[in-house]
Structures are given as structure tokens and as C-alpha cells.
Chains A and B, each alone.
Chain A
Amino acid sequence: MRDRVNDFALKLANVNGTGSASANGLLMQAIFRMGIPVSGKNLFPSNIQGLPTWYEIRVNKNGYTARSLDYDLMVAMNSQTYARDIQEVREGGYLLFDSSWPLDPELLRDDVHFLGVPFAQLCNDNFRDPRERILMKNIAYAGTLVAALQVDMEIVTALLEEKYAGKKKLSESNTRALRLGYDYARDHFGPLPFHLEKMDANSDKILIDGNTAIALGCVYAGATVAAWYPITPSTSAMDAFKVFCEKFRKDPETGQNNYIIIQAEDELAAIGMVIGAAWNGARAFTSTAGPGISLMNELLGFAYYAEIPAVIIDVERVGPSTGMPTRTQQGDVLECAYASHGDTKHILLFPSNPAECFEFAPVAFDLAERFQTPVFLMSDLDIGMNDWVVPRLRWNDGYQPDRGCVLSLEEIEKLSKFQRYMADSESQIAPRTLPGVHPKGSFFTRGSGHNKFGGYTEIPDEYQEVMDRLLRKHKAAAKFVPTPIIQRRPGSSFGIVTIGGCDPAVREALDLLAERGVVGDFMRIRGFPFDAAVESFLAEHDINFVIEQNRDAQLRSLLTLETNVPKDRLRSVLVYGGFPLSARHVIDGVLNVLAPESELAAAGQKVSK
């Protein structure tokens, strides 16, 4: 293995609930502060204490930070998963383990270097409290990694000081544990063939997870009413919204809260509260995951048909049913696109990382109010709960919310009669009125059959007239959703289409494929209904690979249903086991179709080793 600087991956195998998350986060953050492109992926169980959990860190000087499947270093701190963890280390790689107890010789591999540090023993010798002995093992292995990987010790110390400011005892224990692991590594191990060196790639970057970013976006968008039911992996979005509201939304003069957050009794209620608030003109939203969307279906159809805005943040997790709540997937695409019974179609936005989560939140509210309809912000667990290095968030102080066509008191007074669903023939949008403004603006909002005047109807033509306009209105939204990101390469022979958090893995794969002469164009779709550019991109290529994280090729289905592109031009690459996508998945999927069998074998070797 040649010596590599700022280009390797490590995986840390832990037991959940033992405090490993803070040690792992500390390492990741320290690498970020060293200015090196880095990612951290938390692969955790749906459990509070005692089950296996992993954390993966990838550093890459070229900025490729999608999940790597090639682990140069495994930190094996969980004896339950030794067998599997040892198997996952790449040939010639390293494994760090707790040598307080001997490793089962059966598990040893000739092609892996085993580094033993007696973490448990060191901590037992140095700490008294039984809980502390367990917790400090994490900081001790972090210390070993600081030495082995050459993490900047000053940065690590500074981080510990920030974290434990005012908690002297904790700060002292952590520093001592860090030193234990650090000194042991320094005294016992030679340099590893990969290490870190400071760079300057992160000066205009931040480290943030998507749920925090989306919550911040909702604050900036001017959301005042939030209703939710706790559900993994979206809970931290509402937690963050609360924290930001406490910081930014408490009136400095009166001390009153310019927001309200209601923890609903279930998701049926959460979306109901959003609709009730939006009916009154508030910017209202809910955050949930797939199971919550399933429950919200009924009222989503109501909001669609009665034309009431709503913003739904869907942090997707693995389905169906309870599925795997702490694993990631893009399995709600079709569910959200057509949520509810009868003919319904919704607007979807697909952010790819926390920066876009922040950026798209105000867009979601603007579209919901402009088109008087539910809008889904489709995040997922990988985007929502992992820390990503993204460009610093920017806010344009000139932003004014698009409140859509809402009649003012003066406008209502001028009307001879208000007729709710009489729409402008170009925009397909019908002006609405809000309660509490003027008796002439009053009308009866209903989910039952209605005509364009807002009256009850069971007459086919009257019913269809409204339904047909709703379809035209949905189509009209195509020009307002974020446009796709398209990157064409000279000499390309195929297209790759993807959404959301697949972005970094797909881009990396395209670069690596191009190096080998397999050149493709890139398109990341960012909204539904599809922008015209989506269809033309697909039409340009005889083969379009559709990369997504679900079993049933939901994006591909949506593309075949909503564009005229022949089905056989769309080839799926599907990765849906619950962990974030890696470039290798994409490369294998593409070569599987494009390369002959013999080449494939060689390619597979080249790519994965």
C-alpha cells in the first residue's frame, strides 16, 4: 500500500449507547477543521443501548466524500461484530482493537495488520467510576487515531475545551483519556501508510446536518406554525426548529413567542393542524417520515382538492411498514407524488445535501402558497442526520415570501361576489380569501365535490372542470420548481439521472468512469413536476441510468409516467439496503450494462480494490 495523504477511509465499530458518537464526531470535526474534505456516516441501530453501531469517516483531498466501501482502517471496539468487521477491512489494511483481551485466532487475517491497544485496561487503571471507564475508552481510541493518522492535536484539544467549557472534571478526564491512547500509539506503532495533512478546503464551508439546515430554512422562510409527531429520522428537525425559534423568535420587547410548535397526537392531526393554520394564512409545516406520510394521506388529498397550502418535510427512512427506522432510503417518492385516494398529484422538492435543505425550505413555502397545495421537501436519513461539509449558507436579505394570490380587504370589498375556484386561465390559480377579513370573502371550504364557484356539486361537468384545472395547475408548477443540475461531458455515450443524497456518489462514479473512457452525462432532478429540461436530457440519450435508493425504481416509474421517454431508455441502478450510496455501486451498475463480461471482471477488481 503506497503512502497516501488525505485519501483514505476508516470505519469505527462500536456498541451504541456507550458514548462512541461523541468521540467519532470529535475526530470528524477535527479533520474538518484541518481543512480537509471529509464525511461522516453514522450507521446506527434503532435502539438506545447495547446494539452494534458503526461510524464511517472518509477523507479525500479531491473532495469525493460519498461513502467509501474500502476501509483502510477498522476500529473494532465491539466484540459482537469482530468477525464481520475484520472481513470488511481492505487487503493490506489495518485493524485497531482492544487488546485487553486476546483476539480469537480464528478471526485473524494474513493480509490485515492488527494493532492492539489495551483500551479497557488503560481506562481501568486510570479511572475509578465504572461508567467513566466505559466512556473514556472512546476518547482513548480517538487519542490513538489522533496519533496514528496525525490529526492536529491542537485542534483536538481546542475542540475538547469548547465542548467541555465550564465542566472542569469532564474536560480533565477527556484530556487524560485522549493522552492515554495517544501516548500508547506513539510508543508502540510506526507510521501508517496513510495520514492527514492540513489543507485549506474548508475555509468557506460549514459542518451541518440536513435536519438542522431544514429547520433553519423554515425559520428564515417565516414559518410560524409547526405541528408534528415524533418519528425517526425527522425528530431532530423539529428539535432544531424549537432551538432556533427560542433564539430568533422571542420578541425582544414583549418576550412573547412569534411561533407555535404543537406536538400532535398523531400524524393525521399534525397535517390537520398545518392545513388549519395555512387556511388562515400562516406559513405552517410538519416534519415526518414515510410512516407519517402514510397516515397523512387522507388530509393531503383534502388540502390538494380544497387548495390549501401545506409544507411537509419527509425525512425518508427504510420501509415498508416500520422497516428500518434508522437506515436511509428514497422509498417515498411515489407515495408522496400521488399521496391520497382519487386523482392527486403533488409538488416534490429533492434537496441533495444540508445546504439545499436550507435553500429549498423557503422555496417549498413559496410554492405551497403560490399553488395553494401541499409541497413535499424530500430529505432522507443520510442527508438529515449525518453531518455534511457544505458551503456556508447564504441568505438574501431582499427575499420576500411569495404569499400567492390572496385577496386583500380592499380587493374583497370591490367584488360583487367572491367565487373561490374561478382561476386565471394562464396561471390556473384561483385567488383565495382568508378568514377574519371580510364577510364577502367568506366561503365554504370543502373536500366534497365542488364546482368552480366553490359550491357543492355532483354534476360531472362541474366536477371535471375543477379537476382538470387542478391538473393544469400542477403542470404549471414545473416552471417554478428548482431546475435540474445537468453536467454534460464531451464524447458522452449515456446519461445518469439521480436525486437527493445520491449526488456525491454519482458524481464520483462519473469521474472514475470517465478516467476509464466510459463517459456519461449527469442530471440530478430537483423537483417534481419535472422541468422541461428533464425530458430533453432523457431524450438525448439512448441509455439513461436512473440511480436511486429503493427497490421498485420509483424515480424511474415517475419518469415513465410523467414524461414521454420510452421505458427501455431508462435503466435502473438500485441500492436500497439502508446505507448511503457509494460510487462503487454506481460504477458496477453502469458497467454491468455497458461493459462486456470479461471487461466487467477486470473493472470490478480495479474499482473495488
Chain B
Amino acid sequence: MPSIVKPVATHPSLQRNDLGLTIRDYEGTMSTLCAGCGHDSITAALTRALWEVATPPHMIAKLSGIGCSSKTPAYFVNGAHGLNSAHGRMPPIATGANAANRELVCIGISGDGDSLSIGLGHMCHAIRRNVRMIYVIENNGVYGLTKGQFSASADVGSKSKRGEPNRMAPIDSVMLGLSIGATFIARSFSGDKDQLVPILKAAVSHRGFALIDVISPCVTFNDHEGSTKSYLYTRQHELKATETDFVPPASEILAQIGQNGAVNVTMHDGSMVRFKGVPPHYDPTDRGKVMDYLEEHNGKGEVVTGLLYLDESVPDLHEMNKTPGFALTKVPYQKLCPGSAALDRLQEDFR
């Protein structure tokens, strides 16, 4: 994963966030992905979102598996610790990281090969545990680094670069997530930063696992005619089901909420996600309705995007395990070791 260091040049006119940091402070090294790769747009959206919510860079942990997508944690927030693990194994490592230090904003970047094939089980179980993390699937329907094999998200009939059609049913992370209890489910398009940034900001505030599947066309191996993951196909078939605003706690009063029958969801940290526009009868907090809607529109070949489902009522991994509200690593050793007197007493049972 070669990386090129970007020159640091900060123009005085650059805006500063609440921490006094400019967006340059949330950038990483130069991307080495192909020119025009959808992943780079997602990196840009992440950079923007993290800068806007003003998370201190060192309080971010970026993790990934293997694949083109998994290279990208190097390309944002240099001041954050990163971990590029093994193929498909990012969810358990992120789970362990979150278990030890819940104070970090944990961001997992994965791809459709990483998450829907080799690491499918891990992703599902991280969802079930409701590990508090942002989980981005940079979904292009293809194995890029190994040059163009179909992935598990390839649609039936979608054609490879050589013209071969895929015949197996795809695994749709959104439908999968809905069926196994995911509490935050979004689909977006790498070409739509306006939609993606508020979703990412909402994900930072989410109480548990935020699953964000982003269609991210592979310009080299899957952007041709006949592919259902190309820029053109996605643009032509995208159906924006929901439009959302993320309203941080402090600016709550200023926001216009509750208009036009829109749905507002108060997040665990007091911020708010405002669904500005949703289709009639669509309720992003009602799993059954969301599933019905997706079934209907997926059947028409449409790519439904937006923050599709949100449930803030489910406890996360730490709440389920009744751990302290701060990092377990901060508990002093003196509190962890019961000491010799307790050992002596305990051993009366071993006789």
C-alpha cells in the first residue's frame, strides 16, 4: 500500500471547526487508487464529515481489511491511529478495539469482497453485537486488486468487463442488515457527497453499529456498459428514498424540525437526525415498512439510497455488558487485581 505524503499548505482563508482545525487536519496521505475511483470520493466525504463534527483526530480509530477499499484509511485523518488487518477480519479487530476503548470513534472501511464474502460472518456478528462503530462498505461489485472477478454484491445479469454475466443472486448488505437487527442502515452513492456527508455525521452520533453501503464504481473493472455498478447505471437508477439533515445538540433550536410530516429521531448523544423528505407511508424507524419499500423498488432495478433505517433504542456492546462509561483501559490495575487476601479466602473453596 504505497502512500505519498501530501504537502501541508494551509491557506489562511480555510475555515476552522470547533476545535480550530481546518479540513487539512482531517486529510491523509495521497491516494494511490485509480483516477476517478469512487472510493476517493468517499474518503473526501469522510474527511468532510469528521471535520464538521469536529472529532479530535487522535480520538478516531480507522480500521480496514484487505482490498482497494481497505487502503483508504491511509487517505484520511493522518492524526488518527489506523490498522490495516487481514482480509475480512476488520470487524472483530474493531470490536476488540471498541471493547478496550469505547471513547474512540471507530471507523471501519470495507469492501464488498471483504464484507460480503470472506468476512461476511464477522460483519453479521458485529451488527448483532451492535458494536458502536461506523462501518462503510465501498461497494463496487467487483474484486479490483485481483483484477475483475465478480463479488458477492454483483447483481444477476450484471456483466463483467469481458461480457460474462453474473448468474448468482447478490448479497445485499442493506437487506441483510435489516434482517439481523442492524440499527442504522444507509445506502449512498460515492458521487453524491451532499447525501453522504450528513449520513456519516449521523453515524458518528449513532448509539451502535452504523452500516453504510456506498455504491462506489470501479472505473477500471466495473464501469462498462452492462454493469449494474457503473456510474451511469447508478445515476440512471438511483432512487433517493430519504433526505436527511444531521442536527448537532447545540444547534437544535435553530433547526426547523417536524415539518411536512417528516420524521425526527433523537440520537443517544442528544443530537438529532431529521428526515426532511421521505416517500408517503415510509417510516425509517419501522423495519417492516422499510423492507417492503426496498423489496418493491429493488425489484424494479432501482438503487434506493438515503439513511434508510434508524433505531436508537438498542443498547450497544458496552451497554449490554454493563461496562463503565469510559475506556476499560483506564481502570487502574489496583482495581482489577483482587489481591492476596481475597485469594486466600477463595481457596477455602478449593479443599
Partner of A442, one of B3, B78, B329: B78
Nearest CB in chain A to that of B326: its residue: A256
Question: Is A456 located at the chain interface by the 8 A CB criterion?
Answer: yes
Partner of B323, one of A260, A271, A275, A397: A260
Q: Is the CB of A207 within 8 A of B351?
A: yes
Chain A residue numbers with a CB within 8 Å of B121 are: 265-266, 269
Partner of B58, one of A224, A397, A442: A442
Chain B residue numbers with a CB within 8 Å of A436 are: 58-59, 61, 81, 101, 103-104, 327
Q: Is the CB of A447 within 8 A of B86?
A: yes
Would you list which residues of chain A between 380 and 408 have a CB under 8 Å from chain B?
A: 392-397, 399-401
Q: Is the CB of A446 within 8 A of B58?
A: no
Query: How many Å lie between the Cα of A340 and that of B327 in the bound state?
Result: 31
Query: How many Å lie between the Cα of A394 and that of B343 in the bound state?
Result: 8
Q: Is the CB of B338 within 8 A of A302?
A: no
Q: Is the CB of A438 within 8 A of B58?
A: yes
Question: Is B84 located at the chain interface by the 8 A CB criterion?
Answer: yes
Partner of B342, one of A248, A284, A458: A248
Chain A residue numbers with a CB within 8 Å of B57 are: 439, 442
Q: Is the CB of A257 within 8 A of B321?
A: yes
Question: Is A571 located at the chain interface by the 8 A CB criterion?
Answer: no
Would you list which residues of chain B between 301 and 351 have a CB under 8 Å from chain A?
A: 317-318, 321-325, 327-329, 331, 333, 335-340, 342-344, 346-347, 350-351
Query: How many Å lie between the Cα of A455 and that of B1 in the bound state?
Result: 9
Would you list which residues of chain A between 230 and 280 have a CB under 8 Å from chain B?
A: 248-249, 251, 254-262, 264-266, 268-280
The answer to whether A395 and B340 touch (CB under 8 A), given A206-B351, A445-B82, A447-B86, is yes
Interface size class of A (residues with CB under 8 A): 35 or more
Nearest CB in chain B to that of A208: its residue: B350
Query: How many Å lie between the Cα of A299 and that of B90 in the bound state?
Result: 11
Question: Is A282 located at the chain interface by the 8 A CB criterion?
Answer: yes
Nearest CB in chain A to that of B335: its residue: A258
Partner of A258, one of B83, B104, B129, B328: B328
Would you list which residues of chain A between 392 and 440 have a CB under 8 Å from chain B?
A: 392-397, 399-401, 433-440
Query: How many Å lie between the Cα of A302 and that of B86 in the bound state?
Result: 7
Would you list which residues of chain A between 173 and 229 have a CB under 8 Å from chain B?
A: 206-208, 216, 219-225, 227
Q: Is the CB of B84 within 8 A of A280?
A: no
Would you list which residues of chain A between 21 and 63 have a CB under 8 Å from chain B?
A: 32-33
Partner of B81, one of A260, A445, A447: A445
Chain A residue numbers with a CB within 8 Å of B165 are: none
Question: Is B95 located at the chain interface by the 8 A CB criterion?
Answer: yes
Partner of A264, one of B98, B125, B333, B351: B125
Q: Is the CB of A272 within 8 A of B93?
A: yes
Nearest Cβ on chain B to A578's Cβ, whole angstroms: 27
Chain A residue numbers with a CB within 8 Å of B344 are: 392
The answer to whether A435 and B97 touch (CB under 8 A), given A220-B343, A258-B336, is yes
Nearest CB in chain B to that of A301: its residue: B86
Nearest Cβ on chain B to A154's Cβ, whole angstroms: 15
Nearest Cβ on chain A to B54's Cβ, whole angstroms: 14
Chain B residue numbers with a CB within 8 Å of A284 are: 96, 100
Q: Which of B73, B101, B321, B325 lies at the interface centre, i.e. has the most chain A CB atoms within 10 A of its CB?
A: B101
Partner of B336, one of A206, A224, A268: A224
Q: Is the CB of A276 within 8 A of B99?
A: yes
Question: Is B277 located at the chain interface by the 8 A CB criterion?
Answer: no
The answer to whether A258 and B324 touch (CB under 8 A), given A33-B351, A273-B99, A444-B84, is yes
Partner of B82, one of A32, A256, A265, A442: A442
Nearest CB in chain B to that of A444: its residue: B82
Would you list which residues of chain A between 435 and 481 have a CB under 8 Å from chain B?
A: 435-448, 455-456, 458
Would you list which residues of chain B between 138 and 162 have a CB under 8 Å from chain A?
A: none
Would you list which residues of chain B between 192 and 237 have a CB under 8 Å from chain A?
A: none
Nearest CB in chain A to that of B322: its residue: A257
Partner of B347, one of A265, A275, A392: A392
Chain B residue numbers with a CB within 8 Å of A272 are: 85, 89, 91-93, 95-96, 122
The answer to whether A279 and B97 touch (CB under 8 A), given A269-B92, A439-B57, is yes
Question: Is A116 located at the chain interface by the 8 A CB criterion?
Answer: no
Query: How many Å lie between the Cα of A265 and that of B121 in the bound state?
Result: 7
The answer to whether A256 and B324 touch (CB under 8 A), given A272-B92, A435-B81, is yes
Nearest Cβ on chain B to A32's Cβ, whole angstroms: 7
Chain A residue numbers with a CB within 8 Å of B324 are: 251, 254, 256-258
Question: Is B185 located at the chain interface by the 8 A CB criterion?
Answer: no
Partner of A260, one of B58, B63, B78, B328: B328
Query: How many Å lie between the Cα of A306 and that of B86 in the bound state?
Result: 11
Question: Is B74 located at the chain interface by the 8 A CB criterion?
Answer: yes
Partner of B328, one of A225, A438, A443: A225
Question: Is B248 located at the chain interface by the 8 A CB criterion?
Answer: no
Chain B residue numbers with a CB within 8 Å of A433 are: 81
Partner of A435, one of B58, B122, B322: B58
The answer to whether A445 and B95 touch (CB under 8 A), given A222-B337, A224-B100, A248-B338, is no
Query: How many Å lie between the Cα of A556 and that of B95 in the bound state?
Result: 39
Chain A residue numbers with a CB within 8 Å of B327 are: 280, 436
Q: Is the CB of B92 within 8 A of A264?
A: yes
Chain A residue numbers with a CB within 8 Å of B137 are: none
Nearest Cβ on chain A to B274's Cβ, whole angstroms: 31
Query: How many Å lie between the Cα of A384 and that of B81 in the bound state?
Result: 38
Nearest Cβ on chain A to B24's Cβ, whole angstroms: 13
Q: Is the CB of A444 within 8 A of B2?
A: no
Query: How many Å lie between the Cα of A275 and that of B129 in the bound state?
Result: 18
Nearest Cβ on chain B to A390's Cβ, whole angstroms: 9
Report which A residues bind B (CB closer than 8 A): 32-33, 206-208, 216, 219-225, 227, 248-249, 251, 254-262, 264-266, 268-282, 284, 298-299, 302, 306, 392-397, 399-401, 433-448, 455-456, 458
13 contacts between A and B (CB under 8 A): A225-B99, A257-B321, A257-B323, A260-B323, A269-B91, A269-B122, A269-B125, A272-B95, A276-B97, A279-B97, A299-B86, A442-B79, A443-B82
- For the complex with contacts A224-B331, A275-B93, 9 further pairs of A-B residues with Cβ separation under 8 Å are A206-B351, A260-B328, A272-B85, A272-B122, A276-B63, A276-B99, A298-B89, A436-B327, A443-B81
In the A-B complex, the 5 residue pairs with the closest CB atoms: A276-B96, A272-B92, A439-B79, A273-B96, A282-B100
